[in-house]
Amino acid sequence: MTTNAELLATYRRVLPSFVSPYFAEPISIERGQGSWVWDVEGHRYLDFFGGVLTTMVGHNNPKVTAAIQEQAAKTLHTSTLYLSPPMLRLAEQITERSGIPDARVFFTTSGSEANDTALLLATSFRSSNQVLAMRNSYHGRSFTTQAVTSHASWSSTSISGLQVNFVQGAYKLRSPFADLDDDTFTKACVNDLVQLLDMTSAGDVAALIAEPIQGVGGFTVPPDGFFGAMKKELDNRGILFIADEVQTGWGRTGEHFWGYEAHGIVPDILTFAKGVGNGITLAGCVARAEIMDTIDVLNFSTFGGNPLSAAAGSATLDYVIDNDLQGNAKRMGERFHATMAPVADDTDWIAELRGRGLMWAFEICHPGTIEPDPARTVAVLEACKDQRLLVGKGGLYGNVIRLAPMLDVSADELDTGIAALRSAISSIT
Ligand code: PMP
């Protein structure tokens, strides 16, 4: 039997030092079924992170696995040079669901590449390299998406062809306007946006890119309607709004299919990745034809929308819709919140419980303060593992525990996870 320790030695020997596994004793997941996974040593865990919200409708989902197997036996790859039925079917599903009128979709292989495409479109459409992004954002690892990422610990370069300004408001707990009620907070952030535009921009600004709920940033949730208020100011100046739905799409937030819907707006451009392929590489960028067709030369992503990933994508989306998983996310989210809100209130080192649907986070701080406590956060992560529960970590200071159960998690599984989480929390002093 291969052991976790043997695999860790190989990991350290052949991968770069900037990737790093969770846990003091990292594990290798050998197989999964539904919400459960088994490591190479045979230990079973409840998976409430899905490899960063990417396994979305359960491991080895029978419908998705069958669609992949069926397609794999036909052809794995053809590219946009040919008329691929799986790609066209998925494109129809996504454009229809996007909410964007006269929508076109360009498939890519990662969220970073999807956001690159969105920035390429917006800067070309507006003939401007000026872009706005939210503070505490994460949009990817590529050269352009690093420029719109606002986390010192994830920003590997300051060099960019984009000129970027970062807007207030996505992360209320640490905002200078944190003490204001939601409406006044939104107004203050809009006023700041106006000042930013008046004082720091030169001519036209291309776009604001934003995650409706920040993922890597620790599931920070701005007030409902926040981006609607922002977009009014953007619309006044012709500035495009790019919704990065990489973590918030496909019903994950429960109340809505897309995160942007909580703000009463329709974005000009939408990007997606992660969950839609249930683990198969699939991402893309949706925009109305007027914007998409700004690119009037040839453009091509070799693997984007290949038949295998498209078949996985359609099967995943069918499963989400046929089983009303958005509804399940809403119900399970409410169940989670009802039990865990009192626990968070009673635990003096939990500064905030936030989220919605099946995206929940605990911000962990020194008791009674908002001073980040990354050491205690690691202890919670390890304690959850000891309880056989896999959760994620994140946040600006690495002091946020993130939970994102499968969209089809059952009430029993959720309750099992909640019990494990409660034991983990009570084991920490
Ligand atoms: N946008 C968001 C909101 C993300 O969370 C991520 C990945 N964590 C990305 C973009 C980048 O996606 P990828 O890792 O597939 O390039």
User: pLDDT of 5-28, one tens digit each?
Assistant: 999 999 999 999 999 999 999 999
40 Cα–ligand 1 center, Å: 27
* CA 41/CA 36 separation, integer angstroms: 15
In this prediction, residue 102 carries a pLDDT of 98
pLDDT confidence tier of residue 271, bands split at 50, 70 and 90:
very high
In this prediction, residue 176 carries a pLDDT of 97
Looking only at Cα atoms, what is the longest distance across the chain?
63
In this structure, is the dihedral angle defined by the CA atoms of residues 14, 16, 22 and 24, taken in order, positive or negative?
positive
* Contact between residue 370 and residue 377 where contact means Cβ atoms under 8 Å apart: no
Q: Where are the alpha helices (DSSP H) in 20-177?
A: 50-53, 62-72, 85-97, 111-126, 143-147
Q: What stretches of 168-295 adopt beta strand conformation (E)?
A: 207-210, 240-244, 269-272, 283-288
> Whose Cα sits closest to atom 13 in ligand 1?
111
User: pLDDT of 230-262, one tens digit each?
Assistant: 999 999 999 999 999 999 999 999 999 999 999
111 Cα–ligand 1 center, Å: 5
Residue in the block written with tokens 């590489």? 281
For residue 235, what are its two tokens? 């619309």
pLDDT confidence tier of residue 1, bands split at 50, 70 and 90:
confident
In this prediction, residue 203 carries a pLDDT of 87
Please provide residue 401's backbone torsions phi and psi, each rounded to the nearest 5 degrees: -95, 130
For residue 71, what are its two tokens? 């397609």
Mean pLDDT of 162-183: 97
Q: Is 400 helix (H, G, I), strand (E, B) or coil?
A: strand
In this prediction, residue 160 carries a pLDDT of 96
User: pLDDT of 55-80, one tens digit each?
Assistant: 999 999 999 999 999 999 999 999 99
Angle in degrees, 0-180, between the axes of helices 307-322 and 62-72, rounded to the nearest 10: 160
* CA 300/CA 108 separation, integer angstroms: 9
In this structure, is the dihedral angle defined by the CA atoms of residues 303, 308, 309 and 313, taken in order, positive or negative?
positive
> How does the average pLDDT of the chain come out, rounded?
97
User: pLDDT of 76-120, one tens digit each?
Assistant: 999 999 999 999 999 999 999 999 999 999 999 999 999 999 999
The reply to whether ligand 1 has any atom less than 6 angstroms from the CB of 134 is no
Specify the ligand 1 atom closest to the Cα of 52: 8
> Whose Cα sits closest to atom 5 in ligand 1?
215
In this prediction, residue 223 carries a pLDDT of 98
Share of the chain above pLDDT 70, in %: 100
For residue 214, the 8-state DSSP code is: B
Cα dihedral 211, 98, 76, 55, rounded to 10, equals 50
Which domains are assigned to the chain?
Answer: 65-322 (3.40.640.10)
User: pLDDT of 313-336, one tens digit each?
Assistant: 999 999 999 999 999 999 999 999
What is the H or E stretch that residue 187 is in?
helix 182-200
| Cβ atoms within 10 Å, residue 123 | 20
Mean pLDDT of 378-396: 98
Between β-strands 130-134 and 103-108, what pairing exists: parallel, antiparallel or unpaired? unpaired
In this prediction, residue 429 carries a pLDDT of 81
User: pLDDT of 186-199, one tens digit each?
Assistant: 999 999 999 999 99
59 Cα–ligand 1 center, Å: 20
The yes-or-no verdict on residue 122 having pLDDT over 80 is: yes
